[in-house]
Structure 1
């Protein structure tokens, strides 16, 4: 009888494990009449409300890579929203279009802020989210977006930028930044040279920010994206995947998020 009870218990555990998994769903939300097409991911095995993380896409737009990162965050126990900063889910298949889409948003910070905050508002409404516990990560264009949101004093626990632009339209002011910051860049990335890293450090120091900059020798732009090698060759761009830098930056981000959320 004890063996039968044990087998039944193990079977129930197996069924429960099979049913508990990362759930992902497409969501439409709005900013001033513009439809934004996002993706929310969470693990239904996690009970109650939990911290939330916004994921901001590369200059190619909201795509499967962005959703993959949202799923990874959900597997870590967070609720993640892959946002749409371009509107209507626009994606670029050529650098010319990507540059155009990214410039339209990055040169218009009030617009970027409204679209970012629309994502925050959507997340706060989710039953799986603790509205007081929110962070953001971003890649390439998205890395620049989350850094600028921190500069503007968005109510975030932390932001992580992966090979994101370090340029600021308006430099951070002392006492303005609420979020802790971590930035990952490649030392062989011509788009984010050592001079820009040095200027960013100086800006953060003057602003009194709680920040950390991590640089990877030999890493080029878009080093976290496995598709970077193919895209670099196709469009003759200095893009390249770096598995070691990708793994290390994600591990450091995992620790960073636990720290900013107080171990949650």
Structure 2
């Protein structure tokens, strides 16, 4: 009786809900880099479900990127936070983050191979519907998913959260298979008005199906609650709860449209 009562109390408190499962999975890109993926799924959901790749900020595959994979799993997706730096590398120091990012993007072909290795790993998971795939990215990761869309990677859609918009590989008519959603902070000093204008002109010229959302007063990093802590390191970052929640809601609606979940 006592154990049953405890179970009831835990259920009401929400503590007994442990349906979100996670697994770290080592994998390797075709350029030989050893990578670590963080896979999340809801074991209360049966059958296959759409798969979503999560690409981390310039900090690397840290707890925030992993949390977003769990958030997606809670929405019913098969979610994999991938590793663009190798060995699951991450940091809290801007100088290290800059070094990691520059190394990862120095060779565009290697960056593409690392993304595709993560996408392939997601497709290998038995819960993933291989015909329904998307990707989201934050900051550095936002640029990665936009560039993968520009390069014609076969995804239903991509979502960039406070990601850089400039590129050395602009979209061309017919090259992009994915629909695009950009969630941009209107007060983002790291992505200036020219980048925004150039991006919109690129999308228009290439006739891309995209949506651009400008979030009032939001700075770079608006979706990450840890962003405020980095201000002491001289970075113009800031968390904004309203922008975080609005952008996440936008993403959910976007995915419902992509995957016919309405």
Provide TM-score, normalisation by structure 1. 0.91
Partner of residue 104, structure 2: 105
**CA distance in 2 between partners of 1:173 and 1:104 (Å):** 27
User: Residue 48 of structure 1 aligns with which residue?
Assistant: 47
Shift, 1:52, TM fit? 0.3
Cα RMSD (Å) of the superposition?
1.8
- Give the Cα separation in 1 of the matches to 2:82 and 2:228: 25
Counterpart CA distance in 1 for 2:164 and 2:200 is: 13
1:219 maps onto 2:218 in alignment: yes
Return the alpha-carbon distance in structure 2 between the equivalents of residues 59 and 210 of structure 1: 27
How big is the shift at 1:140?
A: 0.2
- How many angstroms apart in 2 are the aligned matches of 1:181 and 1:19? 34
Residue in 2 aligned with 1:4? none
- SS of the residue 2:251 aligns to: helix
| Equivalent residue pairs, number | 251
TM-score in terms of structure 2 length? 0.92
Distance 1:120 1:223 in 2: 26
> What residue is the counterpart of 1:186 in the other structure?
185
Structure 1: 5+ residue stretches without partners: 1-6
Check conservation: 1:20, 1:45, Cα contact below 8 A.
no
Name the structure 2 match of 1:144: 143
Render the CA deviation track for 1:138-183: whole Å, top value 9, x for unaligned: 0000000000000000000000000001011111111100000000
- State the structure with more CA Rg: 1
Are the aligned partners of 1:53 and 1:135 in contact in 2 as well (CA < 8 Å)?
yes
Distance in 1 (alpha carbons) for counterparts of 2:83 and 2:256: 25
Provide the rounded CA distance (Å) in 2 between the counterparts of 1:103 and 1:185: 22
| 1:57-136 matches, cutoff 5 A | 57-136=56-135
Gaps of 5+ in 2: none
Q: Which residue of 2 aligns with 1:28?
A: 26
Q: Distance in 1 between matches of 2:92 and 2:229?
A: 13
Between the aligned partners of 1:20 and 1:128, the Cα distance in structure 2 is 18
Could you tell which deviates more after superposition, 61-70 or 95-104? 95-104
Residue of structure 1 in register with 2:196 after alignment: 197
Q: In structure 2, what is the Cα distance between the partners aligned to 1:154 and 1:237?
A: 32
Q: What secondary structure, in the 3-state scheme, does the structure 2 residue paired with 1:249 have?
A: helix
Query: Is the 8 Å Cα contact of residues 106 and 145 (structure 1) preserved in structure 2?
Result: no
CA distance in 2, matches of 1:250, 1:107: 31
Are 1:159 and 1:180, in contact at CA under 8 Å, matched by a contact in 2?
yes
- 1:170, 1:239 → 2: CA distance? 27
Shift of 1:38: 1.2
TM superposition shift of 1:19: 6.9
- Name the stretch that deviates more: 93-102 or 68-77: 93-102
